[in-house]
Amino acid sequence: MRADLIRLNPEFPMCWETPEVLRFGFDRAELRLIAPSVAEQRFIHLLKDGIDALSLQHSAALAGLTEFESHNLLKRLSPVLTPRHQVTPPKASIAVLGQGVLADAVQRAAVQGGLTLSDPEHASFAVIIEHFLSPAARAHVLLINEVAHLPILLSDRSVSVGPLVMPGTSPCLSCIELDRLDDRPLGAVLAAQLSTTVIPFASKATLGVLAALALNECENWRAGTPSLAATRLRFDLQGGRLSPFMTVQTIAAHPRCGCTALEKHEQLAA
């Protein structure tokens, strides 16, 4: 059996802040080591590639450190070491509900990303793509099977991505639709007349960006850090291309919706 690998987390690049201060992290310093010795620097260099836990003391001795010194250094380095026992999330199966070039782009990107395409009943994650109409109608089977799902709603002047719906814990798509009807009562009437209209995309780059956003949120969800729960991103469309500007909207559970997200919100507020 292979021993645990102890290594520096590559997410935090290492550089010298001053001739005496070794810094981990560029945008933000996750850790600063003051005046590390030559032996400590040698040991840190070994940690960049990783050291098996069983050969830790041997590696420390090669670097010129005692057992006490190596343990002390590892303790100081703990904020920038990879977790010793990382749990690899299970391979996700994804359902893409909807038709058109965007649905095709999301499916291609999912396969290229190593995900398995599935039907809504057996998927672990779903992306719903809809033109004008509310995607809530397509989400019924996903809610029943407790499948996390991310809507992408297309109209003639905008594209909305999110919020990610995690059944029972976050606002659902009916919450979004009820909120939209409050603001625009004629929206459903107009959308029904455009049920067969498909939004043209003038740029493959636009398709790639939207597909990447969807799959990125799938990866965030798998890692337990979803970024679009109760959050919607709205982009303007100009000539079938995405505007570089984005609006971030917070979505709340709607008081007229029967989903359990409202009950949870009220319990937290109590």
pLDDT tens sequence across 172-183: 888 888 887 877
Give the CA distances from residue 100 to residues 197, 199, 212, in Å, rounded to whole numbers and listed in that order: 10, 9, 16
| Same domain, residue pair 73 and 124 | no
| Same domain, residue pair 76 and 100 | no
Owner of token pair 């009820």: 178
Q: Which residues contact 89 (CB under 8 A, 6 or more apart)?
A: 222, 223, 224
Q: Enter the pTM of the model.
A: 0.69
Residue 127 lies in a domain: yes
The predicted-structure confidence for 101-126, as pLDDT tens digits, reads as follows 999 999 999 999 889 999 988 899 99
Residue 87 lies in a domain: no
Q: Return mean pLDDT, the chain.
A: 85
Q: Is 71 exposed, middle or buried (0-12, 13-18, 19+ CB in 10 A)?
A: middle
| Same domain, residue pair 151 and 236 | yes
Q: How far apart are CA 170 and CA 162, in angstroms?
A: 12
Q: Give residue 247's domain range.
A: 93-269
> Two tokens at 25?
């992290």
| Same domain, residue pair 168 and 57 | no
| Same domain, residue pair 150 and 223 | yes
Residue 257 lies in a domain: yes
> Two tokens at 121?
């009943």
Domain count, the chain: 2
Residue 86 lies in a domain: no
The predicted-structure confidence for 214-267, as pLDDT tens digits, reads as follows 999 999 998 888 999 889 999 998 877 888 889 998 888 888 887 755 455 444
Residue 88 lies in a domain: no
| Same domain, residue pair 142 and 10 | no
What CATH code is carried by the domain that includes residue 251?
A: 3.40.50.720
Which residues does residue 16 pair with via DSSP β-bridges, in sequence order? 22
Q: Is 65 exposed, middle or buried (0-12, 13-18, 19+ CB in 10 A)?
A: buried
| Same domain, residue pair 63 and 120 | no
